[in-house]
Homo-oligomer: A and B are copies of this chain.
C-alpha cells in the first residue's frame, strides 16, 4: 500500500565524541525514507535548495524512493548544526537555517494523493495540514513533532492531532505537549486529543506504544557503541510505517510488530554518521535484528541473543 512522507531533506553539521561531519545528508524525510524503503516503497514530498549535492540526490533516490514530490527551489537547503555531549545525554543546537524551507508550500503530486499511509515528519504543523488537505483518504496518518512547534505553533499542531491516528514523539515532548510529568498520563492526555495511538520514543530505553487502555513496550537494541543519534527517531518512524504499509494491517497486534521494526531501524541509524548504515544493510539485516529484539524480551527463551 502506498506510503507517503513529507518532511525535511537537509544538510547537517554534526559533532559527536567520535568525530565530526559537515554537510552530511540529513533531515526527517531522509532518515524516514532510508529506513522505510528497506520494507516498502516510499513517496517523498520535500524541498531542497540549489546547493543540495547531486551525490546526495543519488543517495536519497535509491530503489524504492520516488522523488517526484521533491521540489528544487533557489536558495539554500535546510541546514542544522548540532553537538552531542560526551555521554550523548545532551544535544546542543548550534545553528538552524531554514533556507528554502521558509517559503515551502508542499505540493503532493497527483500520483501520490491516494497514499494510504502518510507520515508527517517533524516540520511546521501548518505544512503538515497542507499535506493532509491534499491526500484523499489515507488508512493511517502518523505524525512527528518537536518542542519548537509545541511551544510556538500549538494551535496548528492541535489541529494536526485531530486528524492524526498515530503521534510519535519523545518523552520530553510528550510531557511538554500534555503538561503531565508521568509518561503514561502524558500519553493518555494525547489520546484524548486526537490520535488513537501514541508512540513514545525513549532512545536507549526503548519505546512505548500507548492506546486507550493498552500499553506495549519495545526495548532498545543493546548497543555497546552509539555513534551518532541524529535521525534515530525518524528511522524508527520509517521502520514502523514501512512495516504497516507493507503488511497493510493496522490491527493492535500488527502495530506491536511494527514497533519492533521501528526499534530495529532506530538502532541501525545510530551505528554510523548520517544515513551511512542504511546504505550497507538489506532487508535480511533488518529481519535478523528484529529477531534479536524479540529474543531480548522473550521470557521463556533460554538461548536468546
Residues in A193-221 with C-beta less than 8 Å from chain B:
202, 205-206, 208, 214-219
A217 to B299, CA, bound (A): 9
| Copies in the assembly, this chain | 2
Residues in A126-145 with C-beta less than 8 Å from chain B:
none
Q: Which of B214, B300, B301 contacts A305 (CB 8 A)?
A: B214
Q: Which residues of chain B come closer than 8 Å to A182, judged between CB atoms?
A: 223-226
Is the C-beta of A256 less than 8 angstroms from some C-beta in chain B?
yes
Range of interface residues on A (Cβ < 8 Å): 35 or more
A224 to B185, CA, bound (A): 6
Q: Give the shortest distance, in Å, between A221 (CB) and chain B (any CB).
A: 10
A138 to B81, CA, bound (A): 57
A277-305, CB under 8 A of B: which get 1 and which 0? 00000000000000000101111111111
Which of chain B's residues has its CB closest to A217's CB? B219
A87-B181, A181-B87 in contact; A302/B253 too (CB < 8 A)?
yes
21 CB < 8 A contacts A-B: A182-B223, A182-B224, A182-B226, A184-B222, A184-B223, A184-B224, A185-B224, A202-B205, A206-B217, A214-B305, A215-B222, A215-B304, A215-B305, A216-B296, A217-B219, A217-B222, A217-B297, A218-B297, A251-B302, A252-B302, A256-B300
Is the C-beta of A260 less than 8 angstroms from some C-beta in chain B?
yes
Q: Give the shortest distance, in Å, between A73 (CB) and chain B (any CB).
A: 42
Q: Which residues of chain B come closer than 8 Å to A217, judged between CB atoms?
A: 206, 219, 222, 296-297
Q: Which residues of chain B come closer than 8 Å to A296, judged between CB atoms?
A: 215-217
> Would you call A219 and B219 a contact (CB within 8 A)?
yes
Is the C-beta of A257 less than 8 angstroms from some C-beta in chain B?
yes
Q: Which residues of chain B come closer than 8 Å to A224, judged between CB atoms?
A: 182, 184-185
Q: Which residues of chain B come closer than 8 Å to A215, judged between CB atoms?
A: 222, 296, 304-305
Most chain B CB inside 10 Å of its own CB: which residue of A87, A223, A294, A296: A296
A202 to B205, CA, bound (A): 9
Q: Give the shortest distance, in Å, between A266 (CB) and chain B (any CB).
A: 15
> Would you call B181 and A300 a contact (CB within 8 A)?
no
Q: Give the shortest distance, in Å, between A97 (CB) and chain B (any CB).
A: 33
> Would you call A297 and B300 a contact (CB within 8 A)?
no
